[in-house]
Structure 1
């Protein structure tokens, strides 16, 4: 069953539509309900803004900047460990580099795309280019356009913001969920080049130069610092490190939106209704919380309601948001990682193959 919720945004009586096997069931909603939802979002926003104002710089940005800095500081040790001929130390080097790469390219690119690393717009743009293009091998412009202007603005709106980063209905469920994600490091720069095709020459040159710089820097360090003697061994190490968290990355992308209520593009719901129905939190996970960030794991609802907040601030406002939504009898959706994996594995056809088609790529989830 494909569920589609719509809600009128004008002052007239509207309703929610739920499509069930071709029939449409309408649930009445008055103009007063719309005004109440508007006031609820404004009230919640004021509560969150007050909490942010009371928080220190360390809470607002410092914690997350420190985690990113720690990831970069781990890289020299990782390159040195990769010099070892002993399997244990070599494996430790690969693991350390893989974790650091995930922190930088997932948590870093996500925060940078939202400008959450600095209050300065100039520095915000610099960090977006640095993390998304040099570190993440993607186009900063396409990433911000796809994530901020499409995914966040049109979350679970059919044909606009309803897609995950990768959605390939032709693949079987086992291949899509556990094998195909390993190709993400190779596919990402190719998709980036396709996204900037037809754009200005300056943007094209900048994107190509930055992506090449990021990839070649790691290759050069592996051959000159870690002592890899062949090109193939260095490239294989790069692929292993970059693909280490690709499987959970794809899982997180699809688990938190697909399968939840989706909305019509012509009759959009109010923001608080859209985000509370179309976004899901995963429970706290020590590894993924630190590598992907709270806003992508256990605070995704908070992140979609207040995308300007850093990971640490999302975690801080989480009790306030969950309590407020409970008081207003709005959904606050949370489900276990393994439970979602079980759902997608057994309902892959319904959720991923027969789902509404993608019309826009969401560059950075």
Structure 2
């Protein structure tokens, strides 16, 4: 049983005062930022990814191995930029301040690009994971645990199944929703998958359905390994809470969330809020990736000033931690952390 103590004000009132003080500092930064900083940078990255798709498909029509490999790389990175970064920002409403456009972008990035129901993504990620971060059975990232797999299969082979499992899970989820919503979602998912397949046949020049499908799998699994790894690295292995004894928000997020260092390709494809600014994102989920990066010095300084945890670790260190402690972290039930004086 872990025990956590801190010099920061304890109890409900103290925690609310701390969070209010941090929010005021962050809001000062946000108010002083331009539209380009708040939304424009990330919208430009997504637009560039969309504009890069035609060159990527054309590269796949080349007989030159290096050009063909370049096409795989372009389409793979663009796929993850649209599906991970785009879906994540859209789901949180961080792409635009318009609710109507936010809803449109959510359906586009989550359903057309990612092949997953938007409502399920919003419920599972925004309402559960963010609402109950590291609370066992609710927001503890347990959806990423597959105890039946051994460590090597999980860490090295399982990520390759994500592009196949995602639409299959989507179809299973659609059985439980309103038929009209299910039909719309199924239509958008089918549009995204068939468009990818059609472009490979008609623009890239693939001559057989099998080769086109293999190429689809290759591009859609290009960054699957870091995607799966990051989803477990940043929460599992940190303090876990029970629903009846979960700490106040600022303590929950500072204790149960971890930042990785900046990694150029992953910063571009996944976004700062998923990689190097995950603590900031959990504290302020409606901020865009660029704004999370901008407020990071403010958040890190504040938490350290108040003697609250600010968790950081390297990708490689977390990888070896999970590989060497796989049974403890991914198979056995994690112990509940006892937070003395912070409930």
TM tier relative to shorter chain: over 0.9
- The 4+ residue runs of structure 1 with deviation greater than 4 A are 25-32
Matched, 1:143 2:121: yes
CA distance in 1, matches of 2:211, 2:13: 61
Deviations 1:205-243 (A, max 9, x none): 011111110000010011011110000000000000000
Q: 5+ residue gaps in structure 1?
A: 4-17, 19-24, 358-365
Of 281, 287, 304 in structure 2, the residue corresponding to residue 303 of structure 1 is: 281
Aligned to 1:128: 106
Please state how far the C-alpha of 1:355 moved relative to its aligned partner.
Answer: 2.6
TM score, norm. by length of structure 2: 0.95
Q: 5+ residue gaps in structure 2?
A: 336-343
Aligned 8 A contact 1:165 1:250 in 2:
no
Matched, 1:162 2:137: no
Taking structure 1 as reference, are residues 32 and 104 closer, same or farther at Cα in structure 2, changes over 3 Å only?
closer
Q: What's the Cα RMSD here?
A: 1.8
TM score, norm. by length of structure 1: 0.89
Of 67, 70, 73 in structure 2, the residue corresponding to residue 89 of structure 1 is: 67
Aligned to 2:180: 202
More helix by share: 2
Aligned to 1:247: 225
For CA contacts below 8 A with separation 6 or more, give which structure has more relative contact order.
Answer: 2
CA distance in 2, matches of 1:269, 1:188: 33
Matched, 1:283 2:261: yes
Taking structure 1 as reference, are residues 79 and 32 closer, same or farther at Cα in structure 2, changes over 3 Å only?
closer
Please state how far the C-alpha of 1:195 moved relative to its aligned partner.
Answer: 1.8
Aligned 8 A contact 1:164 1:253 in 2:
no
Please state how far the C-alpha of 1:196 moved relative to its aligned partner.
Answer: 2.3
Aligned 8 A contact 1:277 1:331 in 2:
yes
Which one is further off, 27-36 or 138-147?
Answer: 27-36
Aligned 8 A contact 2:61 2:203 in 1:
yes
Matched, 1:36 2:14: yes
Give the match's secondary structure for 2:243. Answer: coil
Please state how far the C-alpha of 1:29 moved relative to its aligned partner.
Answer: 11
CA distance in 2, matches of 1:114, 1:145: 11
Number of equivalent positions = 335
Deviations 1:79-104 (A, max 9, x none): 11111111111111111111111111
Aligned to 2:210: 232
Of 91, 99, 113 in structure 1, the residue corresponding to residue 91 of structure 2 is: 113
